[in-house]
């Protein structure tokens, strides 16, 4: 699917702080929001990683957990 310049998926990402909540993250952690929904959290000294997460689809993909059974070649019967 081609990326339409007016519809860039990276434009949906924003960086900010979560509001203070009981038993939540400290308010100084960086949170990446996608369309207003928090999707990833970074420590206070990792703003550069949060910015990279918000702008680089390859970096987002590299942080996705991969399970062994998902990468296993199909077994032959």
Q: Output the pLDDT for position 46.
A: 93
Q: What is the mean pLDDT of each run of 10 residues along the chain (77 residues)?
A: 54 84 82 88 93 90 74 56
Q: Output the pLDDT for position 1.
A: 40
Tell me the pTM.
0.68
Q: Output the pLDDT for position 77.
A: 47
Residue 9 · residue 3 · CB < 8 Å = yes
Query: Could you state, in order of their start, the residue ranges of all structural domains in the chain?
Result: 5-71
φ/ψ of residue 59, rounded to 5: -70, -40
Q: What are the angstrom distances between the C-alpha of 68 and each of 4, 17, 61, 65, 72? A: 34, 34, 16, 10, 6
Phi/psi region, residue 47 (left: phi>0; alpha: psi -120 to 50; beta: rest), is: alpha
Helix (H) or strand (E) holding 61: helix 57-62
Helix (H) or strand (E) holding 60: helix 57-62
Q: Output the pLDDT for position 10.
A: 61
């Amino acid at each position: 699917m081609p990326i339409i310049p007016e519809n860039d998926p990276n434009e949906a990402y924003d960086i900010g702080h979560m509001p203070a909540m009981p038993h939540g993250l400290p308010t100084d952690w960086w949170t990446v929001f996608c369309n207003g929904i928090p999707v990833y959290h970074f420590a206070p000294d990792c703003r550069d990683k949060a910015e990279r997460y918000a702008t680089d689809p390859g970096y987002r993909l590299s942080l996705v957990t991969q399970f062994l059974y998902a990468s296993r070649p199909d077994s032959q019967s």
